[in-house]
């Protein structure tokens, strides 16, 4: 098959086994919750790690918070995860980091509600230094655009994007600008195709929406990792994040084709069973 070397998101309960990974010559990406004993069976197959972004006792991490104490605690959690990954996953090459909230008014902790752009850039440089020490490439993921209904609930129906729940690095322009402003040899970008769609839904005209989606891959040299998902790019349900198989939904095929061509590591950020995987691999092969 003419497909790039792929990884799958791994949790101990999602059905991904070492046997499956071996059968399809695949690797895994692991998140913070699975850094320790639960991932021991596939530790040597970990190609990328997703750094922490939300924890029960802390809420959403905000390494750009104007509140110094909350910023320090958030940054410490991320730094600890980088060090752990560098020590325990020798085959891992990439660390994925969400942008920081610049406004998250529902945050459980007042200190995490407001971020500053210069602190965001400084935090990325600091993490890029540390990941380099542990032989990991730091990649900044484009974040969701968050849609809420009149009750303030995350929803697609009767929902609007809210100014009270926003991250740095959501729109293609801001995501690329952050990359340029950090200007660090050990920082690249991670494209999440579903997250891109949640932003594109803010654009009513479908032609302009497609142009916005393609603008995420306008500078392929900046992208080193992909969270590759299908998504409903034109239907209202696509206002919320979904992890559909590549080829499912309505993302324009041209975007998938360009994603396939990227000189990047590619993660299938979902697993819906082996039959669905076979179908998905055939779709990617045919692009």
Q: Give me the pLDDT at residue 1, please.
A: 56
Gyration radius of the chain over CA positions: 18
Mean pLDDT for 197-225 is 98
Mean pLDDT for 249-263 is 98
Report the DSSP beta bridge partners of residue 44. none
Cα four-point dihedral sign 59, 60, 65, 68? positive
Q: Is the pLDDT of residue 226 over 80?
A: yes
The end-to-end CA distance of the chain, in Å, is 11
Question: How far is the C-alpha of 71 from the C-alpha of 76, rounded, in Å?
Answer: 9
Mean pLDDT for 114-134 is 98
Q: Give me the pLDDT at residue 36, please.
A: 66
In which band, very low, low, confident or very high, does the pLDDT at 33 lie, cut at 50, 70 and 90?
low
What does the mean pLDDT of the chain come to? Answer: 94
Quick check: helix, strand or coil at residue 128?
A: helix
Q: Is the pLDDT of residue 26 over 80?
A: yes
Tens-digit pLDDT profile for residues 156-187: 888 899 999 999 999 999 999 999 999 999 99
In which band, very low, low, confident or very high, does the pLDDT at 112 lie, cut at 50, 70 and 90?
very high
Q: Give me the pLDDT at residue 252, please.
A: 98
Quick check: helix, strand or coil at residue 91?
A: coil
Rounded to the nearest 5°, which phi and psi values hold at 42? -125, 20
Q: Give me the pLDDT at residue 56, please.
A: 84
Report the DSSP beta bridge partners of residue 192. 227
pTM (two decimals):
0.96
In which band, very low, low, confident or very high, does the pLDDT at 103 lie, cut at 50, 70 and 90?
very high
Q: Give me the pLDDT at residue 155, please.
A: 80
Q: Give me the pLDDT at residue 11, please.
A: 84
In which band, very low, low, confident or very high, does the pLDDT at 38 lie, cut at 50, 70 and 90?
low
Q: Give me the pLDDT at residue 34, please.
A: 63
Domains in the chain, CATH or no CATH each? 6-286 (3.20.20.150)
What does the DSSP 8-state code read for residue 143? P
Q: Give me the pLDDT at residue 54, please.
A: 92
In which band, very low, low, confident or very high, does the pLDDT at 68 lie, cut at 50, 70 and 90?
very high
């Amino acid at each position: 098959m003419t497909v790039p070397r792929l990884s799958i998101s791994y949790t101990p309960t999602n059905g991904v086994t070492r046997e499956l990974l071996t059968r399809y010559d695949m690797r895994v990406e692991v998140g913070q919750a699975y850094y320790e004993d639960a991932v021991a069976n596939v530790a040597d197959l970990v190609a990328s790690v997703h750094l922490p972004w939300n924890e029960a006792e802390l809420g959403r991490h905000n390494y750009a918070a104007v509140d110094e104490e909350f910023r320090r605690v958030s940054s410490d959690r991320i730094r600890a995860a980088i060090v752990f990954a560098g020590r325990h996953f020798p085959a891992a090459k990439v660390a994925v980091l969400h942008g920081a909230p610049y406004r998250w008014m529902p945050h459980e902790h007042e200190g995490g509600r407001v971020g500053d752009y210069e602190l965001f850039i400084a935090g990325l440089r600091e993490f890029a230094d540390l990941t380099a020490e542990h032989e990991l490439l730091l990649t900044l993921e484009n974040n969701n655009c968050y849609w809420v209904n009149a009750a303030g609930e995350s929803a697609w129906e009767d929902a609007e994007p809210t100014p009270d729940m926003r991250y740095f690095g959501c729109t293609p322009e801001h995501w690329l600008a952050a990359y340029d402003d950090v200007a660090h040899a050990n920082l690249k970008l991670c494209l999440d195709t579903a997250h891109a769609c949640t932003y594109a839904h803010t654009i009513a005209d479908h032609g302009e929406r497609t142009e916005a989606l393609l603008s995420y891959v306008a500078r392929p040299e900046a992208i080193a990792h992909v969270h590759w998902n299908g998504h409903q790019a034109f239907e209202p349900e696509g206002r919320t994040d979904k992890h559909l198989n590549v080829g499912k939904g309505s993302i324009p095929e041209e975007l998938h084709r360009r994603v396939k061509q990227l000189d990047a590591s590619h993660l299938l950020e979902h697993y819906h069973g082996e039959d669905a995987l076979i179908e998905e691999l055939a779709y990617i092969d045919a692009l």
